[in-house]
Amino acid sequence: MNPVTLLLAFVSLLYTSAAAQSFTSYANDFFDPSIVVQQSATNSTRVLAQETIIQWAEDLSAQGPWSVVNKPYAAPSGDKHDYLSWAPYWWPNCTDVGNTTELPAEQIWTTCPYYQRDGLFNPDVRTVDNTGDFDAMSNAVLYSAMAWVLNGSDAHAANAVRFVQTWFLDADTAMNPNLNYAQMQRGPDAQLGTHTGVLDLKGFVKIVNGILILQNGKSAVWTDDIKSQMAQWTTQYVQWLETNPIALAEAVAPNNHGTFYYNQLAALKLLLGDTDGARNVTQTYFNTLYLNQIDANGEQARSSSTNARIAQFAGLDAWKFTTTKGGMIQRALDFAMGVNPGDEAADELYPSVGAVASVYGDEGSGDSSAAGKYTTFLEAKEVSYPAEPWFFWNQPLSDCGYVAATLAQASASASNATATGSASEKSKNAAASRYSMVDVDLWVVGGGLAVLWMVL
């Protein structure tokens, strides 16, 4: 048994990673699947991140499968296989409708004019939650595929495939390959969705990543027949993305909507084996929208490293591309690190810090095992960052000694409990003590890839 396997068993006994690292849905991730499939058997600094990945896979899988048809109301087409969501910042104004009694919800949706209240979320949009279900499914596919590689359980691979089949392929539950009714602005004239609805499926990049891991690892449950069916569905959806007026309006959006459009489309090209197409899509992004998204000092609200990672996988090195104002992805991250997050979730930035550090290097560090500019920032903000899944695919990146300290503390706790615990506790802790004796050099290796939208 190799050291990482022993350490994973040790961690499972002593370190409740799931409790320490509560689930977070990263906005959008992509990394080379070989980072998982060809993982180093001697890299122990990633052991806590691996344990978190496995735990998240198990927790998410217990909630699935998910289907687009599981909603109380159908789209205007009358077909529950059509994806449906409502524009989240639009509210009804029934003042001039002329009703004498309170209108039922469904009548409000189709009778009252709706108006936008920017930044104020209308909670009734989650009455139909295709958006939340798709997000959960995308995470479950990614982490289940990773867990299959990390602990060798075919059950994880089977879960990933089951979730893909249920959402995309099975006749009774499959989604039609379009977003004609995504983020509809309700009211008497509502018939179609809006271009902002393309953003609802930003998690498709994670699904593609999960499938590529299954393919790269030659999973027996990802059969040629399933692959062919998924390719047919994807081909139809890509055609919609490239030709439908709703989708094309999203392609020219100058903010994160446009950026997510391109990384979704590029990832789908990779799923179809069209590497040239993926490279062309990312090249188009960097030649157009990207040019106006970052200022020279890094100030920005619209930059994404996702497209750089997909471009890199497709053979285009875009990490040093500069905008018309001389900005670049690294400077955008550096600027964001110095901004007070205010009411925003500060931890949304941390995966991006890891991504930039793994690509450009941890500035100020003499070697990959020592803390530099980026790891110093991470340690100050969230000391347990090496237990986060994104740490696994963002390498080389120092753990600042966190893993060794955590395992040492767990080992000491096990030793103390052995002296006073019950027979069953003594047996468990004795096993843990044996694992803790494994001699492992704490070092990190290169090649980790991650993607995440960086937004202030």
Q: Which band of pLDDT confidence, cut at 50, 70 and 90, is reported for residue 101?
A: confident
Longest C-alpha distance within the chain, in Å?
77
Between 352 and 229, the more confident residue is 229
CA torsion sign, 96 to 97 to 100 to 101?
negative
Q: Tell me the pLDDT of the chain averaged across its residues.
A: 84
Question: What does the pLDDT look like over 398-440, one tens digit per residue?
Answer: 999 999 898 888 777 666 655 555 544 444 343 333 333 222 2
Is the predicted pLDDT of residue 159 greater than 50, yes or no? yes
The amino acid that residue 209 corresponds to is: N
φ/ψ of 363, rounded to 5, equals -55, 135
Question: What does the pLDDT look like over 288-328, one tens digit per residue?
Answer: 999 999 888 787 655 578 889 999 999 999 998 999 999 99
CA distances from 171 to 69, 207, 255, 354 (A): 11, 20, 36, 41
Rounded (10°) angle between helices 47-61 and 402-420:
70
Instruction: Name the nearest CA neighbour of 208 among 264, 131, 257, 158.
Output: 264
Contact 180, 82 (CB under 8 A): yes
Taking residue 188's Cβ as centre, other Cβ atoms within 10 Å add up to 11
Taken in order of first residue, the domains within the chain and their CATH numbers are 3-86+128-406+440-454 (1.50.10.100)
Alpha carbon 451 to its chain's center: 8
Contact 145, 214 (CB under 8 A): yes
Q: What is the pLDDT of residue 226?
A: 98
Tally the residues of the chain. Answer: 456
Contact 70, 116 (CB under 8 A): no
What average pLDDT does this structure show over 35-56?
85
Q: What is the pLDDT of residue 97?
A: 86
Q: How many helices (H) and strands (E) does the chain have?
A: 19, 4
> Quick one: tokens of 58?
């198990």
Alpha carbon 441 to its chain's center: 30
